[in-house]
Amino acid sequence: MKKCFFRLDVTASLGFGHMMRCLAVAYELVNDFDVFFVVKGIESERELEKHNFEIIKISEKVNEEDFLLSLSSKNPDGIWIIDTKKQFHEKFLPSLKENCDVLLLIENLSKNMGFADGILFPAAHLDFDILDFWLPKEKRDKILTGWDWILLRSEILDASISNSKTPIAITTGGSDPSGVFFKIWELLEGTNIHATFLIGNSFINRDKLPDANNFLNIIDYDIEHIASAEIVISTFGISVAECLFLKKPVISIGHSHENAIGSEILSQRTPACINLGYFENITREVLVNEIKKLQQPNKEITSWLSQGIIDGQGVNRVVSWIKDRATGC
């Protein structure tokens, strides 16, 4: 079978969203291709080992670009999917493309990125102005982005949607290196608002969690608590798109200034995403007011959510796109 290589890294500081989207695609490709994950560092290796894919590790002692080019030359006609923020040197992507049939970049901005067959931005908040330095306008047809290209995990697609269990669910990411959890807890403490905080297995500061009380609760992350919530408060990222797919109005909070910009753009494209900006700048009054508004969402929000704008077929579209190009080579 033709080989498919995913290049990504997994760390607490980077977050796990990009790994989950690559895994969602990989699980759909594995029946037709030999799938490999190419990673650096023990944390990346440890997280991906849980999913039983073949792993190729890049030694810290070697030049990454040289290693990838060598690997691609030894495995010609492969498929390469690169999901890293690393900006590659100008000769790398043209050289890699010479060795492979299909080259897909995911949210990567690098010199000569136009040599890729496609550039995927699996979200609906892309600011096209950021492409001006990297990609000529005549090659913008290679961009895959928008509601149709959002990549959702199978557990999201299979979740049972209701409004029965949790008035407000709060998720601040798998590891939450910025400490957004503690900021939101501080803002809600003493407000008599009932909310459930969801924390993942990789949550960095589990040993510093505050004591639950009659209003604020802490439990391990489970998508069913999102699917059964009336309102979700989420740090900006794929979790916001997941909430919208599950037809939940979501208060979006940026855990970085870059995230806050993306959150603002998305809020302009859907009334169901309420942007509160960078987490350190949020006040209790603003947060409480937005929660109260969403407890009785307006018709614009309920209408948008009822349309099912995110149809959950993003992974299938990416897989079909890859297979079409692999077949044509």
Cα–Cα distance, 322 to 128 (Å, whole number): 23
CA dihedral angle for residue 118, residue 119, residue 120, residue 126, rounded to 10 degrees:
-140
Give yes or no for residue 44 having a pLDDT over 80. no
pLDDT, average across residues 193-211: 91
Cα–Cα distance, 194 to 85 (Å, whole number): 38
Handedness of CA 221, 223, 224, 226 (dihedral sign): positive
**Stretch(es) of the chain classified as CATH 3.40.50.2000:** 154-306
Dihedral class, residue 159 (left if φ above 0, else alpha if ψ from -120 to 50, else beta): beta
Give yes or no for residue 152 having a pLDDT over 90. yes
Q: Are 225 and 139 in contact (CB under 8 A)?
A: no
Give yes or no for residue 177 having a pLDDT over 90. no
This prediction has a pTM of 0.92
Q: What is the pLDDT of residues 267-293, one digit of tens each?
A: 999 999 999 999 999 999 999 999 999
Give yes or no for residue 15 having a pLDDT over 70. no
Q: What is the pLDDT of residues 294-324, one digit of tens each?
A: 999 999 999 999 999 999 999 999 999 999 9
Task: Name the percent of the chain lying above pLDDT 90.
Answer: 84
CATH T-level fold of 154-306: Rossmann fold (3.40.50)
Q: What is the pLDDT of residues 218-274, one digit of tens each?
A: 999 999 999 999 999 999 988 999 999 999 999 999 999 999 999 999 999 999 999
Confidence band of 203 (pLDDT split at 50, 70, 90) = confident
Which residues fall within 8 angstroms of residue 9, CB to CB, at 6 or more apart? 39, 40, 41, 44, 84
**Nearest partner of 168 among 105, 248, 113, judged by Cα:** 248
Least confident of 5-19, 33-47, 200-214: 5-19
**Nearest partner of 276 among 266, 288, 286, judged by Cα:** 286
**Nearest partner of 55 among 70, 72, 41, 73, judged by Cα:** 41
Confidence band of 45 (pLDDT split at 50, 70, 90) = confident
User: Given this model, what pLDDT does residue 46 score?
Assistant: 79
**Stretch(es) of the chain classified as CATH 3.40.50.11190:** 3-152+312-327
pLDDT, average across residues 92-101: 97
Confidence band of 204 (pLDDT split at 50, 70, 90) = confident
Q: Which CATH architecture has domain 3-152+312-327?
A: 3-Layer(aba) Sandwich (3.40)
Confidence band of 80 (pLDDT split at 50, 70, 90) = very high
